[in-house]
Structure 1
């Protein structure tokens, strides 16, 4: 087959190291507020804003109905976007300001009647995670599929992106509560301090995304059956659900985000009530996410040894081991920290491979249906993340409330403490096992060479006609 025209285009798809770094800064930006929401927001609601855990669980559970729909809609919006800044990249500019504002509003819960307070939490929670975060994170993630079609370049972009990804989490989990404790007028118990510090973090995150916008470029010229036109929803929606790997990856992201929520939220409760020192959470998360920075860079040297799916399964096994390790001594600070280290090692291949797997599923979708719905398929990431975060937070809220947790109490009952311990140890291990089961049905790594060969043949004909 004649791929001369296509090969010339691939050569133009080279992405500079600085541009890859800028894209990594965008990843840090998306993680900052997401980490606050998954690791600290539930505790803020129950212990600082004094909203009941059951109310928070119900709000988050109901919100997932809107969350799931918003991600699919946002994917189609991105696919139908046409601007001088490209299809996806322009949304980094449009949503940076609203991202910072919505994050601050999460913390300004008024001390009013419980029902009115619940309504405020519902509105601001959905404004942030259903609307703003969706139109902020999904286009950012989709941008990578338009930066280059080169599999090698995509892999390099994703390795740098995932190596930088833990920085946002560490900035929150290591420093946020420590800074709060040092702030005057109530420290960690002062809602005003939460608002001020969240504003600082959110504005910094917005500026980082603007830096990403300025320095990243879209290069891919789409050659599909739509011929550059906007794909009608009546064609795009059926095409999306004909992609079996979109469905599998969506389910995987649900379980992975539930793990992240259990890991982040329950680690905070575990360190506060089981270990007796909230400062330990910084050590645990630094071990968990800090190791991924180095390990992700090393992953690039060994990723060829097995398939992407197998690397993710190996990662899930490390996550399970890091959780069950605490059975030996649940109150050992050393074991809690080492368990975090093992979970961090486990997250490394998952974060290093899963977004490339999403890009592969986009190529599969175009091969299967003739239509490239990159934004809609990328919604498997954000919708899965938000479904998982919401379901995880709701489960934590309902289970904690049902087992007697009260954030206003200075001491929790033995039954409540056992519940906290079980959620942190066994809850995380179960979620790791669910991830493995889902991955066993993923076979695109083996199918991809044949699929991409046929897709390139089609595209080469389009290029030659042009």
Structure 2
């Protein structure tokens, strides 16, 4: 077999790795796969309350202007995104009786649930204090989300090295994300009215968020309890942090995956945020919020079931290009069907299904870049590399949310009672135009992905190193 060692830049040399070959590794138990998927249910019970409803809550419930809300979302997200690298490095250097990643699920779940409730409890005081309170709680929520989600994302390469199992775990994670999103998008509007009596009730949002947060905490603890770290001994940690960061920057597949993720979450954030305004102001059917938003996440369930055979046949590069091109074309067909939901919904479902297939590939792509990092630079850096995905998620969501908020503010939107014609036209433009444009950008990024052809050799070479280490 050909030697697995490439030229290592600036003194980076291979580090020993555990002696587990993908060919001999036993399959994961169904309970463990379900527990891993539960972690993304937990994440999305909170994340989708924020990405789908927080801007509306700020503008129409708390009484914060759209411009101020957009600014605080953007600034807070970029500030707490800067902490993600530190959290990733901390995970890589954690040694405890619970492992490297799992302890954070235990330690941070309850504080995260509490702060999530506080984020949707802006007091009825002066506008300035509302903005200060909203910024502080939103920033703290982002930091705690990173302290949970980066370790959670790091679990996949620690649980198994088998590519088939990773694809399965990626499917369970995508389906978990979809289930969490379906719960939030399908029930939030109804629960707010049930608990508070109206769609803009402060009490309704408080009790709805309390319910979602309690479930989120419980599910994070399920992931902690039933997921096992099997691959955490990466040998000596003699490599310095500076060289570890330099290796990450030189990891081309990782950079491509993160750029792809940023644009993906810009698109997803715009879609989910604008859908609420679209249903109320354009369709004049507020009940459609509980139909259109769940269809975005419901597509991930189907995508999760199809992802393994789909990408096994086409690879990530070609598979994503085809899925995104089809989805973008279908979104471009939607405007003529706006007044006929019976025709609108089937086209919308197909568009979401295609984009959902693309979304499921993100998780396994990041796990594969961990293998590449070990093969190319001799260190896995699960926490550091997964912090990049968390940062990409936050930056993309921040840009998407701020883009929607600033565009609405520029068009003169203040609240739902006095939306001018310009604001309604802007909502339409964002809803129909942003997804195809951003999908085209994603296609341009993923066209540079080259790991499909290289990864089988990387897996063989890493297995050979482990056998030699025995």
> TM over 0.5, yes or no?
yes
When residues 457 and 12 of structure 1 are mapped into structure 2, their CA distance, relative to the original with a 3 A threshold, is closer
Q: Retained in 1: the 8 A contact 2:105–2:151?
A: yes
Shift of 1:163: 2.4
Task: Report how many residues are paired.
Answer: 456
Aligned partner of 1:110 in structure 2 is: 123
Match among 22, 35, 40 for residue 53 of structure 2: 40
Map of 1:402 onto structure 2: 410
In structure 1, the residue matched to 2:9 is none
Aligned mates of 1:298, 1:262 — CA distance in 2 = 25
* 1:405–1:150 CA distance, 2 compared to 1 (3 A): same
Change (3 A) 1:291 1:391: closer
**Given the alignment, which residue of 166, 189, 205 partners 1:194?**
205
Could you give the per-residue CA deviations for residues 31-75 of structure 1, whole angstroms, max 9, x where no partner exists? 111111111100000000010000011112222331331111111
- CA distance in 2 between counterparts of 1:57 and 1:428 reads 20
TM-score calculated relative to the size of structure 1: 0.93
Alpha-carbon separation, structure 2, partners of 1:291 and 1:244? 29
- Counterpart position of 1:147: 159
CA distance in 2 between partners of 1:92 and 1:314 (Å): 36
Please name the residue that 1:166 is paired with.
Answer: 178
- Over the residues paired in the alignment, what is the CA RMSD in angstroms? 2.0
Rounded Cα–Cα distance in structure 2 between residues aligned with 1:240 and 1:432? 26
Q: Is the 8 A contact 1:320 1:432 kept in 2?
A: yes
Q: CA offset at residue 157 of structure 1? A: 1.6
TM-score w.r.t. the length of structure 2 is 0.92
Conserved 8 A contact 1:263-1:424: yes
Residue 329 of structure 1 and its aligned partner are, at CA, apart by 3.2
- Whole-angstrom distance in 2 between the partners of 1:119 and 1:56: 11
> Shift of the alpha carbon at 1:446?
1.3
Distance 1:366 1:183, change over 3 A: same
CA distance in 1, matches of 2:326, 2:273: 20
In the alignment, which of 442, 452, 455 is matched to residue 462 of structure 2?
455
Question: Which stretches in structure 1 are left out of the alignment for 5+ residues?
Answer: none
Report the equivalent of 2:218.
207
Counterpart CA distance in 1 for 2:193 and 2:343 is: 25
Deviations along 1:297-353, whole A, 9 cap, x unmatched?
134344322112222222222331342122223333234433431232123322332
Paired residue for 1:220?
231
CA change 1:367–1:292 in 2 (3 A) is same
Q: How does 1:349-360 map to 2 (within 5 A)?
A: 349-360=357-368
C-alpha contact 1:285 1:340 (8 A) present in aligned 2: no
The Cα of 1:228 is off from its aligned counterpart by 4.2
Is this contact kept in 2: 1:288–1:342, CA < 8 A? no
Q: Partners of 1:332 and 1:252 in 2: how far apart? A: 34
TM-aligned CA deviation for residue 13 of structure 1: 4.6
Q: Equivalent of 1:121, from 110, 117, 134?
A: 134
Relative to structure 2, which stretch is displaced further, 433-442 or 160-169?
160-169
1:417, distance to aligned residue in structure 2 (A)? 0.6
Aligned residue for 2:334, secondary structure, equals: helix
**Corresponding residue number in structure 2 for 1:364:** 372
> Structure 1 residues 315 and 8, CA, compared in 2 at 3 Å: closer, same or farther?
closer
> In the TM superposition, what whole-angstrom CA distance separates every residue of 1:231-251 from its partner, at most 9, and x where no partner exists?
532232112111112211111
Are residues 372 and 291 of structure 1, via their aligned partners in 2, closer, same or farther at CA, if it must alter by over 3 Å? closer
Relative to structure 1, the CA distance from residue 94 to residue 254 in structure 2 (aligned partners, 3 Å threshold; closer, same or farther) is: same
